């Protein structure tokens, strides 16, 4: 146990026969359970795990590949069945340094947060050695994930080194969470809908000889779709369905005035192209809705930032029993 909490490490693994034993042998003693999900690896990942002499290990093998998110979801469920209070995700390629695990766990035990994640980019030096296009890509993806998830205080959304209270997981419809590379982004959106407090923890990444299997042409459209759908789902649940918030009113009115102003602007431009002189009234008809809509959208954004779930006042860790799973879709 760690500070009165039963800790489970959930380990998604795909083609990790070389590194999976390192993950297990370096796991700290305070970790009570190690749930490894072999996501239908074509190599000897399962055989290597089965040969390890560690009573904490529970091995599950998918007969069909479900993606990293699917493997994590399976492991989360198995860990909860084992009685865990906190689940921490540890990659099967040993990229997540267990020396920093206490810093992550402290946030969900002593810190009172429901969810904590690592942030690799906590200082200017963190970007050294990274190609410029990857730096730009991480910044852009982080901004869009902030907007979609509503966690404006978080960065590095694709970092899977996370710790979460199992009481939080029971409030999430895990079967609805994305199972591929957008898993982390989709989970953040659903955590915000459930108004779970979350925080970043500065933790450097460990890079080895692994080769990424990510195909950007496939991943980027999936991420954009997930973030777009997730954004409107979050707005619907938090600001419309559960309480018609001024944020929703400002957002929808701002979109209406902005689109109306843009429509008039396009019409005016066609009139000018046809040698028709635009009057002052016509210009104002386009400019005023644009300015009003833009101001409303900025105000909605500011209020959304202020609505980011804060840290609950509940320390030290106190497990909450008997909570059922919510059906937030």
One DSSP character per residue, 58-112 reads: EEEE-SS--HHHHHHHHHHHHHHHTT-SEEEE--TTS-S-GGGHHHHHHHHTTS-
Name the burial class of residue 235, with classes exposed (0-12), middle (13-18) and buried (19+) by CB atoms within 10 angstroms of its CB.
buried
pLDDT of residue 204: 82
What average pLDDT is seen over the chain? 88
pLDDT digits (tens, 9 = 90+) for 19-37: 999 999 999 999 999 999 9
Span 248-267, average pLDDT: 95
Lowest mean pLDDT among 148-157, 176-185, 204-213, 226-235: 204-213
* pLDDT (mean) for 84-113: 93
Average pLDDT of the residues in 144-166: 92
Task: Indicate if the pLDDT at residue 102 is higher than 90.
Answer: yes
Average pLDDT over residues 77-85: 96
Encoded tokens for 207: 């890079």
DSSP track, 123-186: SGGGGTTS-HHHHHHHHHHHHHHHHHH--TT---TT---EEEEHHHHTTS-GGGS--STTHHHH
The reported pLDDT for the residue numbered 214 is: 54
| Residue 325 scores a pLDDT above 50 | no
Specify the pLDDT at position 219: 76
pLDDT at 131: 72
The rounded distance, in Å, linking the Cα atoms of 318 and 316 is: 6
- pLDDT band of 323, cuts 50, 70, 90: very low
pLDDT at 256 over 90: yes
What confidence tier does 274 reach under pLDDT thresholds 50, 70, 90? confident
Is pLDDT larger for residue 22 or for residue 274?
A: 22
- Average pLDDT score over residue span 289-296: 96
Query: Which residues sit opposite 200 in a β-bridge?
Result: 117
- Written as six digits, the tokens of 311 are 């840290």
Tell me, what's the pLDDT at 197?
Answer: 94
The answer to whether the bond into 243 is cis (omega within 30° of 0) is: no
Q: Is the pLDDT of residue 324 over 50?
A: no
Quote the pTM value: 0.85
């Amino acid at each position: 146990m760690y500070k009165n909490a039963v800790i489970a490490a959930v380990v998604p693994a795909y083609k990790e026969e070389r590194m999976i034993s390192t993950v297990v042998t370096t796991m700290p003693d305070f970790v009570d359970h190690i749930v490894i999900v072999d996501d239908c690896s074509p190599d000897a990942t399962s055989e290597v795990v089965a040969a390890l002499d560690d009573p904490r290990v529970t091995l599950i093998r998918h007969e069909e590949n479900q993606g990293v998110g699917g493997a994590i979801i399976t492991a989360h469920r198995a860990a909860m069945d084992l009685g865990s209070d906190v689940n921490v995700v540890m990659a099967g390629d040993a990229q997540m340094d267990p020396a920093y695990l206490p810093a992550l766990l402290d946030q969900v035990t002593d810190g009172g947060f429901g969810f904590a994640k690592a942030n690799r980019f906590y200082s200017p030096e963190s970007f050294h050695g990274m190609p410029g296009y990857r730096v730009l890509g991480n910044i852009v993806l982080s901004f869009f994930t902030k907007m979609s998830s509503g966690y404006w205080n978080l960065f590095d959304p694709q970092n899977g080194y996370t710790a979460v209270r199992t009481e939080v997981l029971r409030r999430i419809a895990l079967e609805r969470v994305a199972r591929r590379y957008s898993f982390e982004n989709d989970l953040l959106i659903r955590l915000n809908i459930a108004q779970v407090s979350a925080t970043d923890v500065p933790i450097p990444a460990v890079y080895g000889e692994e080769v990424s299997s990510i195909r950007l042409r496939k991943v980027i459209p999936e991420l954009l779709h997930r973030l777009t759908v997730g954004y409107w789902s979050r707005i619907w649940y938090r600001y419309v369905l559960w309480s018609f918030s001024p944020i929703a009113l400002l957002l929808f009115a701002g979109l209406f005035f902005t689109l109306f102003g843009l429509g008039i602007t396009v019409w005016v431009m066609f009139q000018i192209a046809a040698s028709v002189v635009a009057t002052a009234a016509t210009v104002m008809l386009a400019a005023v809705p644009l300015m009003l809509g833009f101001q409303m959208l900025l105000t909605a954004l500011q209020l959304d930032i202020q609505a980011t779930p804060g840290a609950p006042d509940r320390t030290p860790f106190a497990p909450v029993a008997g909570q059922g799973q919510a059906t937030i879709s």
